[in-house]
Amino acid sequence: MNGIARARKRLCLEWTAVALGATALCLSVLSFAVPAARSVSAAFAAPAGTIAPVGDSVGNSVGNSVGDSAAMLLRILASLKFTVSQALLSSALAVAIGLPAGFFVARREFPGRRALLAASGVPLCVPPMIVTLAFVLFYGRQGTLNSFLMGAFGLKNPPITFLYSFAGIVIAHGFYNFPVVLRTVSQVWERLPREEEEAATLLGAGPFRVFRTVTLPRLSGAILSSAVLVFLYCFFSFIIVMTFGGIGGTSLEVELYRAARSSLDFRMAGAIAIAETVPALLIVVLYSRLGRRLSADTEGTRPPRPRLAPHGFTERLALAGYLAFILAFFAGPLLSILVRSFVVPSGAFTSIRGHSLGLGQWMLLLSRSNFAPAVVNTVRVAVPVALISTLAAVAYALAEDAFRDAFPRERSPLALRVAPLAPLAVSSVALGFGWGLLAPRGNAFFLVLAQSAMAWPFAWTQVRSSLDRIPQSVRDAASLASSSRLDAAFRVRLPLASRGIVSAAAFSFAISAGDASLPLVLSMGKFENLPLLLFRLAGSYRFSEACACTVVLALICGVVFFAMDSGGKAEGEHV
Amino acid sequence: MSEYLTVEGLAKRWPMQSVEISFSLAEGGTLALLGPSGCGKSSVLRMIAGLLSPDAGRITLAGEDITRLPPARRRVGMVFQDHALFDHLTVEDNVGYGLVSQGMRRGEARERAAEWLERFGLGGFSKRRPLTLSGGERQRVALARTLAVSPRLVLFDEPLSALDAELRRRMQDELRAHQRSLGYTAIYVTHDVAEAEILADSVLRMA
């Protein structure tokens, strides 16, 4: 084969890959846009067209319709208020917990630092279903903490009762999401120029004043950006609010689920979809703008500052106290799942005290006839989701780069920057509701499409940030030495971004494998997967068995992460 | 000697700055663009390489108007300030990269890369990764990678500014010796007058 034929063959392969990527991108975008539009359009359907719950009179008069609309609006406004206030407080709590962690991880060297840093994967890799279960086991009336306190102080009643309340929702959200703040803030903090802080110190400022006047303003972008992301997660939080939400009101997401699945009021569901999507879209635009500012903060070749050992007694005490706090309130609940999976209960709803340890619950779980199909289905859905969303993310990122190359002087239009994040503005329940209207009988294929639509913004974030880390000179050198732009992308840029691409696939896998919301909302008949099995086991108070199921789910995701991580290191060895 | 490279009224305007330049260079000649930081020297190189599109002007290389050609088709090489080596590839695959782009088989490209590495005193470095090399070694690999594809023109963007003073002096002599023995046409961008005089036959000052 001569040189030209070889170059042509390579180009042919590259175009095939582009076609695959473009198909995945189209699938992901359509799987999001069409059902989202359908769920929103349900709000405009004629009231008589809705399927009224049993007992309701069908065929309302005009007066009734106006009255209904007003009542609907009031209900939505009350839920909106509840949703926004819990999300605001949750974000504030996540910042309060995450900021000290950001400091210690970025600037201090201590035993446990890597473990704390590893926690940053939790909000993405550990599904809310598992966190909910962990909190119930740890903080519940009969949970580990209450059992311990009652035993230690001889109390008759459990002293900790906040869980099933507004405070419970906020605390669960705050602890679940603080690693988002930790990760974003520490990345900026470790690269802050030392000189500015030293100059302020030489000008007579004490440590607190240096922090307040020099460090904090520099960190504000990272804090705000992570807080906005946490706000968005909490705004759309479903399982946690559904489980812990008390009588005092509930969130839009739970209202939407009830309207779509219990009362079958599709008009109400559509209206709620609008009420939650419009503000969320504004938040996504804000997040995208903050993200640009943030990437300017972390860009550049400035290496991370060397980390020091904690100095002074006060700092050591603060660090020890903080680590104990995180261990007790964040790691504790998650670890209690593992412990609980080996507890053999004697009653339906029992505490750990007085029970023996054993493999009984594991045997029970493994012998369930629906356990093996659940494992198979989880993997069978998560693998194509990882493939489609990662391909879509890579295709979109390369299209963005082509746009930047073609119009180097123009800022990329807002639509181009917000488009990959747009699925973040539509909740999984709203998306599932839209899918349900389009395809009343759900199946695994629709689940794959719907989850790909939800997962690809996360995949895109990973791919985009790895591509953005490639220095301009390397991109230029590749353009000069490659036979085409496409060739430069496939032989230099993508291999250099391989870590990001691999972690995009791992995250997408984990998002799919842990997602209980979409399988719940799509009517999938007898379909069974691990999150659904987990949901049913926890719902019927079979906590130990649910914990064993959680451990299986965590093991599957852990194995994928481990395999992909070592694969990512080996990748990039080839041209 | 007839003009090999002609740059006529090449201009680029930004909101706060603009650059406009004309010059010509004979085949095998060397020119240094000298000027303070931010005067647009590097932008001139990037326009010649096709990495930045000019607002006006014309670039002719070996009788061909290359002003609108994409970078890959200009046959212009560039050595970057930070070397811009591909860290995911071995040293030999870095050097052979452009040859594979031209359709050469990988094995053959590696053999040719080994010859270039030998010539630059880097025999035995083939399987190393760029991240394991010293500044001077990275510089040589970058030069070998650029020259391996026999470019019609080689552009150097502050090629030695990342090196320490002693190594820098040594590399200046080395670059000059390579240019003399291989006879390539080159443009150097630098802000150092002494370096400009060592490296190039003629110097063009930009303000």
Angstrom CA distances, B51 to A319, A464, B111, stand at 50, 22, 30
d(CA A448, CA A452): 6
Partners of residue B72 in chain A, C-beta under 8 Å: 479-485, 487-488
Residues A365 and A545 sit within 8 Å (Cβ to Cβ): yes
Which residue is listed with tokens 């819990």? A86
How far CA A317 is from CA of A97, A101, A321, A324, in Å, comes to 17, 14, 6, 11
Amino acid at A39: S
Terminal alpha carbon distance of chain B: 28
**pTM, entire model:** 0.81
Could you count the other beta carbons within 10 Å of the beta carbon of residue B67? 20
Task: Give the pLDDT of residue A348.
Answer: 43
Tokens of A75: 């209900």
Q: What is the pLDDT of residue A565?
A: 63
ipTM over the 0.85 cut-off: no
Contact (CB<8Å) A485/B53: no
CA-based nearest distance B79→chain A, Å: 8
State how far residue B3 is from chain A, nearest Cα, in angstroms: 24
Answer yes or no: is pLDDT of A63 > 80: no
Contacts of A388 (CB under 8 A, 6+ apart): A24, A27, A28, A448, A449, A452, A456
Cβ contact A480–B78 (<8 Å): yes
The residue type found at B106 is R
Contact A477 B80 (CB under 8 A): yes
Residue A239 pLDDT: 86
Bridge partner list, B32: B188, B203
User: What residues 467-486 of chain A have any CB closer than 8 A to a CB of chain B?
Assistant: 471, 473-474, 476-485
Identity of residue A131? V
Long-range contacts, A562-569 (Cβ 8 Å, 24+): A564/A502, A564/A503, A564/A505, A564/A506, A565/A502, A565/A503, A565/A506, A567/A502, A568/A498, A568/A499, A568/A502, A568/A503
Lowest mean pLDDT among A393-397, B2-6, B92-96: B2-6
Mean pLDDT, chain A, rounded, equals: 84
User: Are the C-beta atoms of B144 and B119 separated by less than 8 Å?
Assistant: yes
Higher per-residue confidence, A45 vs A220: A220
Structure tokens, A385: 């989701």
What share of chain A has pLDDT > 70, as a percent? Answer: 89
Six token digits for residue A536: 């049913």
Q: State the DSSP code for A329.
A: I
Q: What is the 8-class DSSP label of residue B54?
A: -
pLDDT at A189 over 50: yes
What is the rounded CA–CA span in Å between residue A51 and residue A37?
A: 20
Cα A506 from chain centroid? Answer: 13
> Which residue on chain B is closest to A496 by alpha carbon?
B88
Give the pLDDT band (50/70/90) at residue B70.
Answer: confident
The stretch A378-385 carries a mean pLDDT of 95
Mean of pLDDT values over A335-355: 68
What whole-number percentage of chain B has pLDDT above 70?
99
Phi, psi of A372 (to 5 degrees): -60, -45
Using 50, 70 and 90 to split pLDDT, how confident is the model at A331? Answer: confident
Nearest CA in chain B to A410: B14
pLDDT, residue A164, reads: 85
Angle at A389 between CA A388 and CA A394, to 5 degrees: 100
pLDDT at A308: 84
Tell me the nearest-neighbour CA distance from A394 into chain B, angstroms: 18
Tokens representing residue A424 in the block: 């973040």
pLDDT at A566 (0 to 100):
62
Backbone φ and ψ of B163, nearest 5°: -100, 160
Residues B55 and B67: their CA atoms lie apart, in Å, by: 11
CA A439 to chain centre: 26
Q: How far is A369 from chain B (nearest CA, A)?
A: 48
Q: Which of A2-16, A91-105, A477-491 has the lowest mean pLDDT?
A: A2-16
Q: In the predicted model, is pLDDT for residue A45 greater than 90? A: no
pLDDT value at residue A59:
43
Strand partners, B204: B33
Separation between Cα atoms, residue A126 and residue A36, nearest integer Å: 26
User: Which residue stretches of A407-471 are H helix?
Assistant: 414-418, 428-438, 444-468
Helices (H), chain B: 41-49, 91-101, 106-119, 135-147, 165-182, 193-199
- Predicted confidence at residue A55, as pLDDT, reads 36
| Sheet arrangement for strand B64-65 | B18-26, B3-13, B56-61, B64-65
Q: In sequence order, which residues have a C-beta less than 8 Å from that of residue B26 and are 6 or more positions away?
A: B1, B2, B3, B4, B185
Q: Quick one: tokens of A142?
A: 């009969």
Q: Which residues of B touch A480 (CB under 8 A)?
A: 49-51, 71-72, 76-78
pLDDT tens figures, B182-200 = 899 999 999 889 899 999 9
Inter-chain residue contact A575 with B104, CB threshold 8 Å: no
Rg of chain B over Cα atoms, rounded to whole angstroms, equals 17
The DSSP-derived string for A72-94 is: HHHHHHHHHHHHHHHHHHHHHHH
- What's the rounded Cα separation, in Å, for the pair A106 and A98? 12
Does residue A288 register a pLDDT over 90? no
**Interface subset of B 48-107, CB within 8 angstroms of A:** 49-53, 70-72, 76-78, 80-89, 93, 97-98, 100-106
Name the token pair of B203.
């110097």
pLDDT tens digits for A217-234? 889 888 998 999 999 999
Residue A564 has pLDDT above 60, yes or no: yes
User: Are A480 and B71 an interchain contact pair (Cβ–Cβ within 8 Å)?
Assistant: yes
Angle between helices B165-182 and B135-147 (to 10 degrees): 20
Query: For A327, which DSSP code?
Result: I
| CB-based contact B136:B125 (threshold 8 Å) | no
pLDDT band at B79 (very low <50, low <70, confident <90, very high): very high
Q: Are B104 and B112 in contact (CB under 8 A)?
A: yes
Q: How far apart, in whole angstroms, are the C-alpha atoms of residue B72 and residue B151?
A: 11
Checking DSSP bridges between strand B202-205 and strand B3-13, what pairing results, if any? Answer: unpaired
- Angstrom CA distances, A101 to A37, A184, A185, A212, stand at 41, 11, 9, 17
The stretch A459-478 carries a mean pLDDT of 89
CA B145/CA B116 separation, integer angstroms: 8
Q: Quick one: which H or E segment has residue A367? A: none
Strands B153-157 and B76-79 turn out to be parallel
Taking domain B1-75+153-207, whether its CATH number is 3.40.50.720 is answered by no
Instruction: Give 3-state DSSP helix, strand, coil % of chain A, rounded to 5.
Output: 75, 0, 25
pLDDT, tens digit (0-9, with 9 covering 90-100), for A539-563: 888 888 888 999 998 888 888 877 7
User: Could you give the CA distance from residue A436 to residue A261 in angstroms, rounded to a whole number?
Assistant: 10
Torsion, Cα A274 A277 A282 A287, to 10 degrees, reads: 180
Mean pLDDT, rounded, for B15-23: 89
A294: pLDDT strictly greater than 90: no
Q: Write b or e for each residue in A471-493: b if 16 or more Cβ atoms lie within 10 A of its Cβ, otherwise e.
A: eebbbbbbbbbbbbbbbbbbbbb
Longest dimension (CA), chain B: 49
**CB pair distance less than 8 Å for B51 and A573:** no
**Residue B131 tokens, joined:** 């991240």
Residue A286: pLDDT band (50, 70, 90) is confident
Report chain A residues whose CB lies below 8 A from the CB of B82: 471, 473
Query: Of A142-151, A177-186, A503-512, which gets the smallest average pLDDT?
Result: A142-151
Residue B79 phi, psi dihedral angles, 5° rounding: -110, 125
The C-alpha atoms of residue A217 and residue B181 are separated, in whole angstroms, by 56
3-class secondary-structure state, position B14: coil
The pLDDT assigned to A362 comes to: 87
Looking at residue A120, what is its pLDDT?
77
Closest by CA to A405, choosing from A491, A490, A475, is: A475
- Alpha-carbon gap: A528 to the closest alpha carbon of chain B (Å): 42
A298-332 per-residue burial string, b: 16 or more CB within 10 A, e: under 16: beeeeeeeeeeebeeeeeeeebeebbeebeebbbb
Spatial separation of the C-alpha atoms in residues B158 and A405, rounded to whole Å: 24
Q: Does residue A451 or residue A361 have the better pLDDT?
A: A451
CA distance B44 to chain A (A): 14
In degrees rounded to 5, what are phi and psi of residue B142? -60, -40
Q: Rounded mean pLDDT of B179-183? A: 89
In this complex, is the C-beta atom of B17 within 8 Å of any C-beta atom belonging to chain A? no
Tell the residue number behind the tokens 């719907």, with chain if given. Answer: A450
The more confident residue out of A471 and A344 is A471
In chain A, the largest separation of any two C-alpha atoms, in whole Å, equals: 86
In percent, the amount of chain B with pLDDT more than 90 equals 59
CA distances from A82 to A86, A246, A287, A292 (A): 6, 12, 22, 30
